Structure 1
Amino acid sequence: MIKQVRNQMGWLARLIIPVLAILFIGGCAPANQPPVISSLIADEEQISPYDNCLVSCVASDPDGDELSYTWSASGGNISGDGAVVTWVAPEEVSTYTITVKVIDGRGGEATAQVTIDVFINHPPVIDSLVTEALNIRRATPCVIECIASDPDGDELYYNWLPSRGSISGDGAVITWIAPNTYGTYTITVTVTDAWGDKTTDSMSIVVSCGCG
């Protein structure tokens, strides 16, 4: 009788121990951790209507889960999928928000947003070209100034090109050194803004002997 009880207890022990092990392991399983978005970057902060730019999301998952990406925008269109998409700007000038949701497939998710301005750029305006003299001697230096502005307040860049002679300096004010031959020469300036829009103007200067 005692032996039989012991056998029954042994079977019971062998049954309970695996069950407890399963419960123990299951109870200590780590909870799922959501994805982490390191950055969300648009390769252009400002673009023109109907222009496009790339938007890139850098994300990872602490559990090593495979990630999927869902994109949306407050305006315009998104093409592509995955971590990098192309956003096409609408016609209307405004600030738009692009949103990405990163999902790990186990209920974890993370969201980030980036804004892009849609605007219409205006080219620079050259108000005037000013020089100290319109008739100078051969091989004589002459200061020329380009008075220009930009409707959008963009930084301006100046490129000077003479038909003859040479240019010294850069920017809005330069010195043109006349050639050693008589004639009428043209000095041209191209003013470009930060977005590549440009305006060109020129002026003529006579090189003579200076005889009255």
Structure 2
Amino acid sequence: MSILLISGSPAVPSTSGRLLQHIGDKLASAGHFVSRLNVRDLPAQALVEADCNHGAVRAALAAVAEAQAVVVATPVYKASFSGVLKTFLDLLPQNGLAGKVVLPLATGGSQSHLLALDYALRPVLQALEAERVLAGLFATAQQVRWDEHAGVQLAPEIAARVTAGVTALAHALDVAPRRQPGPRAPVRSLQDYPYATQAA
């Protein structure tokens, strides 16, 4: 199945980007076809002006349209998801997530930001007519640590939720109608998407 990872963080590296990367690796290891898009790397002027004819924006929207599932990751700022992600989601057509399974991820400074997933991001994903929005996964920076040698290190409770989220996404894809069957392969080369870059 084709799965697009969308990083909505304005910073690289970022905690949300690393969590997204970790989940993408797990999905790829399970045989899913995974590609990545960093919204922050799209031209700012084209995003702000909603210029869907710009080549970079057009390629990003095409990547969303082609995916059978989407994993969206964002940091939480002021009880909501990032502005750059909101700007990109606003460019999708009203049914831009129709027929797709979506797994939302968020990271924040404390557990007090947890509800941003359900009260800020989920309604937008549902408004875009996602077939199914899975239970979101929230983690703090302390629960997603980076080690230069070992890579992403997750707190046990987050590791368990990641496993549950990956399993739920894989199951949802297994039972979903086969709309665009494609080859199963490791993580897709970023050169295949000229305007996509790897999540930090």
Q: TM-score scaled to structure 1, two decimals? A: 0.20
Which structure dedicates a bigger proportion of its chain to strand?
1
Q: TM-score scaled to structure 2, two decimals? A: 0.20
Higher RCO (C-alpha under 8 Å, 6+ residues apart): 2
Which structure dedicates a bigger proportion of its chain to helix?
2
